[in-house]
Amino acid sequence: MGRNFKWFLATAGVGLIPLLARVAVYLSLNEKGVFQPITISDIVVWGLIVNICIWSEKDNFIKDNPNLSTFITGASVVLIVVYGFLLGFALLHENGAYNKDGALLINLYFLLLAGYILDGWTFLMGILLIFFCRERPQDKNKTKGEQ
């Protein structure tokens, strides 16, 4: 397993700690309706952690392609902003934002779906960064004069 892949697995694993802790607490409760096993906040935290790591590590992966570096930076920034909005909506939902008729203003299922889609995109972006921007064997064999 390459260094880049280990880095991504470690980053994704650290991002999953809050989610795994919540699931562990949920499984240890006697009454299952008291506590939700997965919340939108956990999904947002994982996405933010992985996106920030992708953004900060992209220069270690992409050395000779400024266009790809710009794309990764832009995609990470957009995803971080969208995750911020998603977190804001999640906080509104958790605090019970109701309309005048007493119905919740925020659709939890839409938030979860959006979170899953964003996390899927984030995971895909990390995998693509690792597999398409890694150091290739022919690059290792070049001497300094050939580069």
Beta strands in 75-129 (DSSP E): none
Contact 73, 58 (CB under 8 A): yes
Query: Is 7 inside any structural domain?
Result: no
Query: Is 55 inside any structural domain?
Result: yes
Query: Is 127 inside any structural domain?
Result: yes
Report the C-alpha gap between 24 and 81 in whole angstroms.
30
Query: Is 128 inside any structural domain?
Result: yes
pLDDT in tens, the chain (147 residues): 566 677 777 878 888 888 888 888 888 887 766 777 788 888 888 888 888 888 877 777 777 777 877 888 888 899 999 999 998 888 887 777 776 776 667 778 888 899 999 999 988 888 877 776 655 444 555 545 554
Query: Is 29 inside any structural domain?
Result: no
Query: Is 104 inside any structural domain?
Result: yes
- Give alpha helix (H) positions in the chain: 3-15, 17-28, 40-61, 66-94, 108-132, 137-141
pTM above 0.95, yes or no: no
Query: Is 25 inside any structural domain?
Result: no
Number of folded domains in the chain?
Answer: 1
Give the structural domain span for 54: 38-135
Query: Is 26 inside any structural domain?
Result: no
